[in-house]
Structure 1
Amino acid sequence: MTLLSAIGTQTGWEFQLRSADTNGVTQFQQYCRKHSIPLTVTRLYTLSELRTSDQYQITTAQEEALIAAFEAGYFNQPRETKLEGIAQELGISRQSLAERLRRGHRNLIVNTLLHQSK
């Protein structure tokens, strides 16, 4: 079992764990019970369920734009491409691409870095 994150607040803990099978989850629950740590499992995912767009609540269009920009070197320093080239490759306007990237970044930040404060 791998601990991906643990966030403690005054009201309790939120754990994100990864396990190859359900035995790891069961052992973690037993450990918590044995040590009087209250635990409620709110969601279990199979690896096939963890698509990026679902997990981080980004749309398919945002995911496509982010990946295309990354693969084209847009996020490198110095940039290896401009938005116009990526937009043309995707068949959308530069403005549409910029908006998808902005919304995609926002959703990624909210659902990764700020997920505990939602």
Structure 2
Amino acid sequence: MVTIITDVRVPAREFPLGRILEDYPDVEIELEQLVPTQTGVMPLFWVDSGSEGAVAETLTNDPLVEDITLLTRTPTRVLYSVDWSPDVDALVRTLVDLGVDVLTATGTAESWDFRLQFRKQTDLERFRRACQRQDIDVELLELYNPLMPPEKGPLTSEQHDILATAYESGYWDVPRKTTQEELAELIGVND
């Protein structure tokens, strides 16, 4: 079994906690855990204590939120749990239905960054296809095998372009839609 880790970014509008922050562009939320329940999904997340009142009020008024509970407080942050309606959005439902492990997630009113773990290559492909079917805009930031440590630092723009081209050309699809040689020719490098 080859575990695959991906770092992806989605626009805030694709994730319920992102949409509720539209009126609070300076607030950042850190997802602690996404817990599937029999009737829905319950996220546990941290909010800066200076923003807790606005976030709690917004969550209370959101139609997807059935209940919000303050779990604990530190001097700088507050941990909440939220019981979402079973009608929660497509991204959350896809993550839960496919059994994707959400290792980390942080977000603002603009976007959410997720580190996702897939147990097999085919699980990643199922996630990608499900997102495409549901018009979920997912940007791949990084893809790696945790047994092989990633290089330090962010990708160069050239590396990012090459990975994006490979992804869009179906290089990681199962079965592959393009070969390494075709990809090299498309990018203009030696295979």
Measured against the shorter chain, the TM-score band is 0.3 to 0.5
More helix by share: 1
More strand by share: 2
TM-score by length of 1: 0.37
Q: Which one has more relative contact order, counting CA pairs under 8 Å at least 6 apart?
A: 2
